[in-house]
C-alpha cells in the first residue's frame, strides 16, 4: 500500500512539474540538429485551403502567433501513426494520420499559407527539415536500429532578411505541449 501511495504522489508531482515547467525543461534537455531540407508543398487541395482560412481567420503580423496557429491547426487535424502514410499535406487533410515527416510538412505548408495570407511571405518562410534529436548532448537516434527512428523531422521558420529563426517540432507540440524547440549549434 505504501508503494502505491508513493507511486501516486510521485506521478502527481511529475505531472504538476510538467504542467508548469515542461516546455522549458524540454527545451533545456532536448536539442535538434538540422541535416537536410525536405520537399516543400504548397496548399493546393481545396479542403486544406478552406480548413486553414476558416480556422485561422484572424489576420496577424506577429510571427510567433502565426507559428502557434500552424501548430494548433496541425495538432487539431492530425493523429500520429507508425504506419506508412502520405507525406503530402494536401493528402493528409483527408487521411488525418501522419508520422513526424507528415506532421512537419503539414505545419510548414500551413505556416507558409498563413504567412502569404498575412503578407509576410516575402520575409518569412517555413521549411520542413530532416534532423536528429539530442538528449543532454546524446544522439537519441544512435540507440535504435530500426530505420523508422534514424531521424526526426521538424520545422524551421526563418526570416530571409534578418536571419531570425524559430524552430518547432509539431509532433512534440501535439503530444507534449512544447511550442518552440532549441537548435543545437
pLDDT in tens, 50-88: 999 999 877 888 999 999 999 999 999 999 988 888 999
pLDDT tens readout for residues 106-128:
999 999 999 999 999 999 999 99
Q: For the whole prediction, is pTM greater than 0.85?
A: yes
For position 95, what pLDDT does the model report?
A: 94
The residue ranges of every structural domain in the chain are: 2-183
pLDDT value of position 96: 94
Mean pLDDT score of the chain: 89
- CB-based contacts of 154: which residues, under 8 Å, 6+ apart? 32, 34, 100, 104, 128, 129, 131, 167, 168, 169, 170, 181
Name which of 73, 20, 17, 63 is nearest 180 in CA terms.
63
Q: Write down the architecture of domain 2-183 according to CATH.
A: Roll (3.10)
Residue 84 is predicted with a pLDDT of 85
Tell me phi and psi for residue 58, to 5 degrees: -75, 135
Amino acid at each position: 500500500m505504501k508503494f502505491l501511495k508513493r507511486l501516486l504522489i510521485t506521478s502527481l508531482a511529475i505531472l504538476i512539474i510538467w504542467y508548469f515547467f515542461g516546455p522549458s525543461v524540454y527545451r533545456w534537455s532536448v536539442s535538434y540538429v538540422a541535416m537536410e531540407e525536405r520537399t516543400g508543398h504548397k496548399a493546393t487541395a481545396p479542403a486544406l485551403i478552406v480548413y486553414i482560412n476558416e480556422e485561422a481567420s484572424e489576420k496577424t503580423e506577429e510571427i510567433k502567433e502565426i507559428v502557434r496557429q500552424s501548430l494548433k491547426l496541425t495538432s487539431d487535424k492530425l493523429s500520429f501513426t507508425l504506419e506508412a502514410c502520405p507525406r503530402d499535406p494536401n493528402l493528409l487533410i483527408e487521411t488525418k494520420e501522419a508520422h513526424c515527416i507528415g506532421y512537419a510538412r503539414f505545419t510548414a505548408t500551413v505556416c507558409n499559407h498563413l504567412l502569404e495570407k498575412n503578407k509576410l511571405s516575402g520575409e518569412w518562410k517555413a521549411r520542413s527539415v530532416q534532423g536528429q534529436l539530442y538528449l543532454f548532448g546524446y544522439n537519441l537516434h544512435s540507440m535504435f536500429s530500426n530505420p523508422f527512428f534514424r531521424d526526426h523531422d521538424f520545422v524551421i521558420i526563418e526570416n530571409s532578411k534578418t536571419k531570425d529563426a524559430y524552430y518547432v517540432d509539431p509532433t512534440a507540440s501535439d503530444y507534449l505541449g512544447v511550442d518552440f524547440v532549441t537548435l543545437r549549434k
